[in-house]
Amino acid sequence: MLLCSKNSEETYHNVINTLLDDIKNFQVDEKYYFLIKQKQLESPFFSLCKINFRDDPIIINTNNDTKEDEAFNLIFHNKKILDKKKKKKQKEEGLIKNLTTCDNIIQDEEFIDKLSSLLKLNHDTNIIIENKKNFDTLYKYYSFYDDTFNTSCFYIQDDYDLFLSKHVNGLYILSISKYSNILKNILSDLINMNNDKYNLKDLIKQYVQIIFDPRLINADTSGKRKTKTIFINDDMTILNIIYKNNIYKIKSKIKGYYYDINQNIVHNPYLLFYNTQDEGWLIIVKNKNTDLTKFVEATDYYNKKKLCIEQYDELIKKMK
């Protein structure tokens, strides 16, 4: 048990780094970390504790010829792992809701986000890699994609909004918000064009095309330090969304060294419309002096986009 004060950000960073080291060496146990408010109501401290859940392992087969990105795909796009993520999330939400100690329920709203993040610090699953080839960055990527200890913000524009997830390892993940006017208008047009006889996901796949900037596709992102990668400036068009004869250019609005793009959305463009902050992310960069003053916090974004969100929800209800 570890006491944490409201201002001790360093404590959280140390916990994360310790867990990442464990993950790298494949020695980590399945643990959930959470904060418990102290019995003394005026106490500024919380206890950092852990709870274990037993889980069946998933076997990942690799060999000496398996590349780092191939091994990552075996994990990130593994259906069993994705299913386990959903089940784990339900456990987390139930734990946050019901967790008590010393007859006191967690009351400090300021810590709910941090508690939720700490619950996600570990693997989603007990992954066993039969050939324990040491992929230098695989463990960092998996922790990153698992949405560990991040903060979120939005960039609002007329045509489209961007969702940014910032992580303590300096990596930024960028998505287009599914509540963007571009996406909402495309959905509306597809529905109106096909009346009531349609499968919305199939229509999106048929009529919407995603094309990444060729420089991103051809960039060399090998190696731990990504020394051969390209630099992304905040005005670079990272991809085009093509619908009918319209081309919508999506610019990054962040600066940093390019790490990865999500080519899954090229083959499954509907991910942009349904799950943009998880499977529908666009690009990953290593932050380099990005100015975030024009980004807004999630609460402000949802308040400002309330009408658009309601309209989007109505459209999605029509999905067949």
Asked if residue 92 has pLDDT above 50, the reply is: yes
CATH of the domain at 197: 2.40.50.100
What per-residue confidence (pLDDT) applies to 202?
87
Instruction: Check whether residue 205 and residue 115 sit in a common domain.
Output: no
Quote the crossing angle between the two packed helices 306-317 and 181-193, to the nearest 10°. 30
Give per-residue pLDDT as tens, 199-257: 888 899 999 999 999 999 999 887 767 778 999 999 999 999 999 989 999 999 999 99
Helical spans, DSSP H, in 130-179 = 138-145
Instruction: Check whether residue 162 and residue 298 sit in a common domain.
Output: yes
Give per-residue pLDDT as tens, 41-60: 555 555 555 554 444 555 56
Q: What is the mean pLDDT of residues 3-15?
A: 51
What are the backbone angles phi and psi of residue 119, rounded to the nearest 5°? -65, -25
Which among 117, 133, 148 is the end of a domain?
148
d(CA 11, CA 149): 12
DSSP string, 89-143: HHHHHHHHHH-EETTEE---GGGHHHHHHHHTSS-SS-EEESS----TTHHHHHH
Give per-residue pLDDT as tens, 281-293: 899 998 888 889 9
To which residue do tokens 């005026």 refer? Answer: 42
Instruction: Check whether residue 188 and residue 282 sit in a common domain.
Output: yes
Question: 100 vs 53, 63, 112, CA distance in Å?
Answer: 18, 46, 14
User: How many residues are listed for the chain in this entry?
Assistant: 320
Asked if residue 178 has pLDDT above 70, the reply is: yes
The answer to whether 96 and 115 have CB atoms below 8 angstroms apart is: yes
Instruction: Check whether residue 144 and residue 217 sit in a common domain.
Output: no
d(CA 11, CA 168): 12
Which residues, in sequence order, are CB contacts of 9 under 8 Å at separation 6+? Answer: none
The two three-digit tokens of residue 18, written as one number: 């310790």
Which among 148, 171, 189 is the end of a domain?
148
Which among 133, 148, 163 is the end of a domain?
148
Instruction: Check whether residue 165 and residue 296 sit in a common domain.
Output: yes
Range of the domain at 273: 151-317
Query: Going edge to edge, which strands form the sheet with 237-243?
Result: 208-212, 237-243, 246-251
Instruction: Check whether residue 177 and residue 259 sit in a common domain.
Output: yes
Instruction: Check whether residue 158 and residue 299 sit in a common domain.
Output: yes
Q: What is the mean pLDDT of residues 294-317?
A: 89
Instruction: Check whether residue 182 and residue 114 sit in a common domain.
Output: no
The answer to whether 22 and 87 have CB atoms below 8 angstroms apart is: no
What per-residue confidence (pLDDT) applies to 243?
96
Instruction: Check whether residue 309 and residue 172 sit in a common domain.
Output: yes
Helical spans, DSSP H, in 196-280 = 200-207, 214-218, 264-267, 271-274
What per-residue confidence (pLDDT) applies to 105?
40
Instruction: Check whether residue 155 and residue 32 sit in a common domain.
Output: no
| Number of domains observed in the structure of the chain | 2
Instruction: Check whether residue 191 and residue 87 sit in a common domain.
Output: no
What per-residue confidence (pLDDT) applies to 305?
93
In terms of average pLDDT, the best of 74-88, 94-108, 118-132 is 74-88
Question: 108 vs 90, 125, 131, CA distance in Å?
Answer: 21, 30, 45
Instruction: Check whether residue 136 and residue 188 sit in a common domain.
Output: no
pTM above 0.75, yes or no: no
